Structure formats: C-alpha cells, structure tokens
Chain A
Amino acid sequence: MSEPLILGIETSCDETGVGIVRGQTLLADAIASSVEEHARFGGVVPEVASRAHLEAMVPTIRRACETAGIKPTDVDAVAVTSGPGLAGALLVGVAAAKGLALSLDKPLYGVNHLAAHVAVDTLEHGDLPKGCVAMLVSGGHSSLLSVEDITDGVEPMGSTIDDAAGEAFDKVARVLGLPFPGGPYIDKAARDGGDRLYVTFPRGLTSQRDLERHRFDFSFSGLKTAVARWVEARRRDGEDVPVNHVAAAFQEAVCDVLTRKAIDACKDRGFEHLLIGGGVAANSRLRSMAEERASAAGIAVRVPRPGLCTDNGAMVAALGSELVRAGRAPSPLDLPADSSMPITEVLNK
C-alpha cells in the first residue's frame, strides 16, 4: 500500500503556502508571500495579508499540484493550519481547505502551526526521535517544547516572556538601518566581518535568580533596548556605528541564550535530540553554535534546511501525514480557525 498523499495549507501570517507530501516525501512546496506589501509598514498588516491569501490561494494550489505531478482528486487528506495566527488570515486557509475536503470527499485535519514546524523535519530526516526538545524561534514566538509523539501533543517547557527572537531581530535591524524582515540582514552583516565580542550585550533571564523562576523562558526586550541605547549613545557622540560588529554582538547574545537553554532543556528531560525550527532557525550563527554546544553535551541537533524552517505548506502537509499514518480521527467540517490555539493541541478535533 502506498503512503498517503496529503495536501497542506498554511495561511497563519503573510505566506500563502500549499505543500504536498507522500508519507514523509516532499513533492511540492508552493509559496506566495505578501511580505513586500508589508515591508514598508515594518510589520504585517492583517487585512493586507488576508486579501493576499484570497488572491493567492487557487494559483498556489494549482502550482503545488503541477510541481507534484498530481491532480487534486489524487489527494487522500487535506491538512490546514487552524491556529495559532492572525484570525482573518487563518480563516482564508481553513475555508479553502474545507472547500477542497468537501469537494473531494476527503478527510480534513486542522492542525497546530507550531507542531507543524516540528513535524516538517520528517521531510528532511525521517521519523522524529522518540523524545526530543524542540526549540521554535521566529518572529512570533520563541518556545522550548518537549515532544514525545508529535501526533499526541507537545508539552511546553518555556517561552518568551516579552519579544520573540525574530521580533528582536526586526527591531534591532531597524535601529541599525537594515531592512525588514531583519533576520537575514543581521545574519549577513554579522558574517561580513562582524566581531561577536565587540560589545557584550545582556543575556536575558540567565542570572541565578531568574533561572529559578524562568529556567526555560526567554526575554529579548532588554537586549533590544540595550542595543538601541548603545547605538544612540554612539550617534550622540558623533561616532560611526559599526553595523557589522553590533549585528554580530547582538546575534551572539540571542544565540547564546537560545542554545544554552535548549541544551539545558534536553538534559532536564534526558533527551538526546534537539530539533530547531521556525524562521530564526535559518540563522547561520544559531545553527553553528547549537551544533557546537550540543555535540559537546552528546546531543544530536536536527535542523531542517532553511527553506523548510520558515512558514510553508509542506510543514502542514507533513504533520497531516503523521496524523494520518498514526490513524488519528480527522477534524469536523465546522472546524473553527483558532487564533490562540494552545500548543498542547496538535489537532483540532
């Protein structure tokens, strides 16, 4: 019997993603992004994103099917991000998925966006480890999750108490005069001769006292402010701001805290695997530092390739595929879009 063919739809933010997988094999990952329409506002405008999703939906489905060499009627199940995310944006994807499932008379799976970021790694590295810590870092969240069986649920260990890691990248990029979204530009500036030790920026929630209450939580708001103050002071004194060095030192502070806490979380659970996902997982320094520190601790790191770390439809299809393979019951046709879907809920029943 061949593996199930799953079509996944993602519209939780500004990317319209349609992915197609067979079992754990990626067949297509079509994406339309409205990021350029938002760039001039320095953030995502929900109504602009929702309008773009409606326009992009059918062309993106068509492109995914063409790339995969399938007809929509070949699909065995439809998966869709039903939360968390921007309510109006989610709703477009959920309604589209229902239109497909209804027309094709195939089961519908409303899945959690964060769990999909974890499941996408199956497309790169096969079955997930029996137990692992997943660190999800992006413009929206920074979380440490304990994952035993992704089709069963995930257990949150910690998350950011203020800004998300990716948000800090965006804000610091703005301070440094770099474009939105900030992550890739800061990474590049740092790699272009940035000195990571040029300034030592604060590491949030790492003091002994903070660790008692926030062992696995993050805070990046203080770091962002520290960078902004440092840059302002320089400018006030009429000195040049060494963008590459500041970018590198800021990035170092973020990656230091993320990797330190992620490894501590693995040790706490006795897990030998650390999985990293979300847009910030594309950061080159985060990848290299995680590899270095994990291998010193006897922990294996799994990071999907950058194209799979950012929001896409393939990750939704991948999670849908795991759910189908595990024999989970599908979601009902009155499935709501849940903008604040809790991470403990992998499948909207």
Chain B
Amino acid sequence: MFLNNVIIALRNLRKNKGFAVINISGLALGLTIFVFGSLLIKYEESHDLFFQNADRIYTIGSIAAPELNVGFERMDATFTTVGPIVEAELEDVERVARTVLREFLLSMGSESFYEGIRFADPDILRIFDFEYIHGNETALDDPSGILITDDVAIKYFGHTNVLGEVVTFDNEFDYHVAAIIKQVPLNSHFSSSLVQDEDLGFLVPITALNKMREWDLEGNWNNLSLGNMTYLLLDERFDRDWLQGQMNSLYDRLVPEDQTEVISGFTVSAISGANTAIWDLIGIPVIDAVQLLSFLILVIACVNYTNLATAQSLGRTREVGMRKTMGATQTQLLTQFLIESLVIATIAMIIAIAALEIIIPLFNNASSKILSLNYASTLPWLLATTILVGLFAGLYPAWLITKTSPIEALRDIARKGKKGAKMRSFMIGVQFAISAFMLATVSIVYMQNERIKESSYEFPRSEIYTIDRLRVEGIEENLDTLKVELEALPNVDVVAFSSQVPYEQNNSNSTFTPTPGDEAAEFSLMRLDMSPDFLRVYDIPVLTGRPLSRDMTNDIRTEESEVLNVLVNELALPILGYASATAAINQSFYTLDPESTLREFVIVGVVPTQNIVGLFNQEKAWFYEYVPAGLRIGSIRIKGGNIMDTVDAIEGVWNDVIPNYPIQGRFLDEVFNDVYDILRFMNMALAGFAFIALSLALIGLFGLAAFMAALRTKEIGVRKVLGASSAQIARLLVWQFSRPVLWALLVALPLAYFSSQIYLDFFADRINSRFAILLIAGLVSVLLAWATIAGHAIRIARANPIRALRYE
C-alpha cells in the first residue's frame, strides 16, 4: 500500500511536470534558505564550545548609561579595573584574566609588522586550554615571555620551531617566545569574522604594557574600550545568575559615582555569547531576524505548495470518489495524500541539501567561517524538518480533497473550482503579506542607509587620505617635516593632524562650567584636538570670528597654557548660553578640574555644526583646540591627479622621513566603510530574503492563476460565446487574485512600519518619508502580482471560444 502510494505520487509528478517543477523548486528553495539560516545561527551561537571549560567561562560586559549618548547600549567589555576588583572581592571565582588589545610595531627575525597584541593576565592560559605546539600554560608567568600562534611563527620565521626567539616591540623592548600554540579555530570569538578585533596571534603578559606604556596594572575607571575583555572561570557550583547577582552588588558598592553616568550596570555572558556580542552592541536583533526571516521564507514556500496542491488535487476528485466507492476510508486517503506530500518534501530536501553542499563551501570561503552540514548531528533534525514540512504543507489539501462524500466526488465537476477558494485566497494573502512586509522593510532600511551615506558627504571623504599611529616616539618629532614634504607633492593640497577623523567611533568629551566653579551649571562638549589646517583639509568654514593660528600664543595648547583660545560649533552656542555666534565671540567658559593649569577657554571663532562621528550618532556640540604635538592621526587632502600615483608618492615621502615605521595609511572612505559595511551587509542580506520571498510568492501566484484559469476554461468559453470581450475576461481573471493581495498589504504595511522602527531607532538622523516608501513598496508588490497574472490571463482571454468549449 505504501509503495503503491509512492508510485502514484511519482506518476502524478510526471503527469503535471510544470506544477511539479514549481512545487518542488519552491519548496527546495525555501528549505535551502531555512536550513542554511538555521545552520548559520547554530554556528554563530556555538562558538568556543571546544574549550574544555566552555560551560564555566564567562565574560563581563557593561551597559552604557543613557547619559553617555553613544548610540549603543550593551558592550562585551568593561573597565580594566573590574578584573582585579572581582579577584579581590569574589573568592568563589576560580580565575580572572583581562585582555587589553593594543597595536605595536613588532619585529622578529628580519621581519617587522604592526600587530594587534593581546596583553593578558597570565591566568588566561588556565582559563582557555589552547593547543600547544611548544611550551605550556605557564608561558605568561615569565614576565618576559610571550605566546604566539603557529601562523604568526610561520609569517615571521617560516617555521614553528621558534621557542626562545627574541621579539622586539616598537624597536625598543625585547621579549622572547615562550610558547607556540595552534591557531585558534575559526569557530572561536578569538578568530571569528563577526568579532572585529584582530584574530588572536599574540598573548603577552599584561606587565609588559605597564613597562612599555606605563599602563596602570590595577586598571582604571577612565577608559572603556571594546576589545578589552574580562574573562572569569567559575567553579561548577556557580552559574551565570549567581555571577550576575554578585556583579550587580559589586556595581552598587564599588563603582565610583561619576562612572555611573558612563555605565549603568555590568552584564555577565557565557563565553558562547562572546561571538555574537557585536549584535548586542549594535542593538539590532540580527540573529532573531535571520531566524524569523528564514522561517518566513519556508512558510511562504509551504503555502505555495499547499495552494498549488489544493488547486491541483481538485483534478483528482474522481480518483478520490472511485477509491471511496471501493471502500477506502478518509483516513486511508489522507494517508495517501500525505505520503504524496512527504515524497515531494523529501525530493525538495534532497535538492536543498545538494544545493547547500555547493553553497556552504563558497560561503565559507567568502566569509572565513567553517559552517558544515555535519550529517551525524543534523540528520535527525533534517528528517524532522522534512516530515514537518511535508505534513504541514500537505494536510490542508489532503483534508479538503478527502472529506467529500464519494457521490459528490464522482459527480462534482462544475463546482470543483469553488472548493477551498476562500482558503486559497487567504493563503495568497499570507504569502503576499510576508513578502510585501519584507519588501517594505528592506526599502526603509535601504533609504535610511542612503541617507547616512548622503550626509557623510559633508566631508570630502574620497579626497582625504589618513595616516594613523603617529603618537610614537620616532614619528611624533618628525611630523612637521612630514607635513612640509607632503605638501610639496604636486597633488597634495594640505595636511593636518588631529586626535580623531570623521566617522571614527570615538566619543571623547570634557566637562565645563559657564563661570569658574559653578558645578551646578556644568555641561559637556565633545573635544577635537587638531592642527589649524584641519579646517582647510575638511572644508570647514569659520562662520564668525577667526580660525586658530600658529602665531598667537593663546591659540596653542601647551603644558603651561592657562588661557586657551578655541573654536566651537553652532550647536554648542545654546549649551554655552549664547543666542548668536556674534554674542559668543571672545566669551569664556571654564574647566571643572581643580588640578588643571588650564582654567579658561575663550571662544574666538564659530564653525558650522557637522556630524563628525557620523553614522548612527546625532550631531553633537564640539569644541576645537589647537594641540601642537601628540596628535594621533593625519589627514592629507588630495587634489586631482592620479590617486594611486599620489598615494605612492605619499608613501615615498613617509619612508624618507620616517624610515623605521611602516606607513598606516588609508582613505577616509575606508574609515567610513568600517561601520557602513555592516549596515550595507545587513541591507543586502535583507534584500536577498525579500527577493526570494517575493519570487516564491509570484511563482506560486502564477501557478495558481494558470491552474484556476484552466479549470475555468469552459466558463470562459461560454462567456465569450455570449459576447464578453477579451479585456473583460482578462479583468475577471486578474481580479480573482487581486483582492487577497490588496488585503495582504493592509496587514503588511503597518507591520513594516513598526518593524522598521527598530532599525531607525538606532539612528539619530532618520528618514522622515516612511509613509511614501511604504506606499511605493506596496504599489510595487501589487503591480508585480498583476503583471504575473495578466500575461497568462490575456492569452487565455484571447483564445478562440470554441477551443475553450471543446476542452472538457
């Protein structure tokens, strides 16, 4: 009996090849997306589990206080002093280790490179059991020993047998290799493509940072940097909730009051969450979104199948009637039809798996991930998915076709088109609701991204080449020479140095009072240190007053300055209490810090408000001061000419002036794209989902329209004989499917309105034409639906009526 059912299923597929192709390919596509999405999520959420202590390792993160106004809420990092505090206060925590990420110029053998170095408490090796090639977990106990990975060893030496080799930091400090480990697998947060920090290549005792940069070993409450991790190893008796409770009480007891305006709490995450912390940081539920979207695609594919199968099964009423006449019960027939849909689901799943076997290696290559369809562990799940999809998709048509009494089934030809018509309309509505929802959401995300990109052009970002890491002995003293030499190049306009460039996600601000000592009226301004030419490089005009000058003593901030002339932007004026730019000129504001020599700041010029941090951030109030030395990053304005030649010339000048350090240069465009690429990637992924959803819905609609038109061939013939025009017939066919599509929009567009809010909330500068975008997206969905049906409808409507009548 079972075999008999499978045979019938296969023969049915062969008989209706067109529908079989639509059915199976739609379902296969849905399954491919769903399985891929699920694998990806499982992959991202199961990082670091290969560490022996994985279930006992936790990271301490922070919740950004709302006052901080930095555009994100949760970060997987905290102040460097929290580690030592936990160690001192919580006896039950087995081990604590911090890592601090810093870049250094590293020399080993004959090679020198800038490297991201993790400075770590030695216990890090007792928390994570790395795979040692040479050395062991005591490597960092030696204050002059460092640990490197085999990849690093090969990069510098060409082999891994490098124990004891000397490593020089910044051409000055010598250490030696005390251990070599295997590169940490890609499915660890140490190497993940999701975590933006440098892959783990080096572990260096944190005391070295103290020696080289006078870094405070006990950490401090001053600096909260992403990439500074605090790892805890707990005893098996304790869990995350316990630790969270302990951290909450530590927060209440030990966080200094002024820091509560920076962080409003600590968070504790299992190590497996470290990989996806970036999404917590951004505050967009990416994992949930991928899960939901891939599930919705599968739903659309299932509904497609259900709909086509329902329509198609109407052609088999006679078979059902005959079988019932022979004594088949409804259960037996239900079984038969469900086996058919299981056969189709199985074929679709096999195609999906074949597709994934091709897609996954390509994806791994492009994304440096190591996803795999590990059949040993996924097979039960794949099977369950197949069965659920088969049952879910097949149940309704099976029930519909088998519930009729035999006499009706044998006779009922005239009315068969009506059977299940409401349900079919409803299901078309569901499909279009989902796909219009996705289309509308993706349109809003796209427009928002475009707006961010548009507004970023307020700086000439493609004409500015930045050179980073200038605050190093050996570079700092040569910056003036560098500037002169660079500006002598034919295509270089002007060069400036500053503490940050636009789009860098730094938020450094200072607190002031309008009159000396008036703490009640304190306010804070964002601070930019720069050389005076910064305004020229970035085309920033001085609206009122004058720019800063190298020739005026009070314009230049030095150790001895007591009064400093500064520029402020227009947005700072109301904060400072001035109604106009003119009123602010030559007025002062004062520092809050009683120990500072510099007490008074005098406004000598006002510049327009610009969004320097850009991207998600709102425009902020800034002041600009001239600091002659110790600036971190340079900006070179390039005018015309061949860009690549100019960059080569810049590098040439650098190598002449600063031969000991390689140049760290890139265009300002790339700085912008650091963050913008994340947004663009999300948009592309979303667009991919929307495209597939819409295509599936349209394919389903086409199949259904074709089938229903075939069922109505006789009716159409009669109508034509009675004088209906082709246009009237076409309209009749199109209208049959338009109502559910229109209903779908009424549901989808409001949903898209609310869901896009989640994305927009993330930005300070939001698009305000959301209604228009929604309406256009809705209109596009309807037009696509009409175009899909109309082509077929017109062909049928034009056919000779006699052919239509002869058909049955």
Q: Do A and B bind each other?
A: no
Residues of chain B at the chain A interface (Cβ within 8 Å): none
Residues of chain A at the chain B interface (Cβ within 8 Å): none
